[in-house]
Amino acid sequence: MSNRLRMSIAAALVALAVVALVIQRIPPTPTPAPPAPDAAIKLRGLYVGEQAADDALLMASLLDELAAVIEWDGQQTEPRLKTGIAFDDLRVAAREMRCRGDSIGARQPKVRAAVDAYLTSVLGTSGGPVGPEQRSAWVAAFREVSRAAEAAAR
């Protein structure tokens, strides 16, 4: 792994930590409406094994925080996250760092497939520029997966 990539990942994690601290001090903003019930994702019963509940709660927490970060970033005069690729890169970097290389998707392949299918159906596959409407769709989709993962942990 190149030093530049390491520096970029480290910078993204530091930025994520700073944003998390800042978010705690910002009054909450209205949450976008969740996707229509027919578009909702169901994850209950897909998590398996000893770590099923822990995996579900970790995924719920991580995606809820990423949704908050993406939402907050969009409220800035000059957002840092401007493309679908940037949103997904942030998700991957946050997961890799939070899980320290451990992959929930490898341990929970049915969850990985369901989440991938859901995000693709709701967000599409374009990694290009993201406007306010598409940003809201990412936030709503991440929050919907977070809610589904939390419900699956119960």
Distance separating alpha carbons of residues 78 and 145, to the nearest angstrom:
27
Lowest mean pLDDT among 53-57, 127-131, 147-151: 127-131
pLDDT band at 151; cut points 50, 70, 90: very high
Whether residue 99 contacts residue 108, with contact meaning beta carbons closer than 8 Å, is answered with no
pLDDT tens track for 9-56: 655 565 665 555 555 555 555 555 554 444 589 999 999 999 999 999
pLDDT for residue 38: 47
pLDDT band at 116; cut points 50, 70, 90: very high
Name which of 101, 92, 94 is nearest 119 in CA terms.
92
Domain count, the chain: 1
- Tokens standing for residue 34: 């969740």
pLDDT tens track for 86-98: 998 998 888 888 8
Place of tokens 């374009």: 126
* Residue 52 lies in domain: 3-153
The 3-state secondary structure of 106-148, one letter per residue: HHCHHHHHHHHHHHHHHHCCCCCECCHHHHHHHHHHHHHHHHH
CA Rg value for the chain? 15
Q: Is 83 helix (H, G, I), strand (E, B) or coil?
A: strand
Question: What is the reported pTM?
Answer: 0.73
User: Distances in Å between the alpha carbon of 41 and those of 55, 69, 129?
Assistant: 17, 22, 25
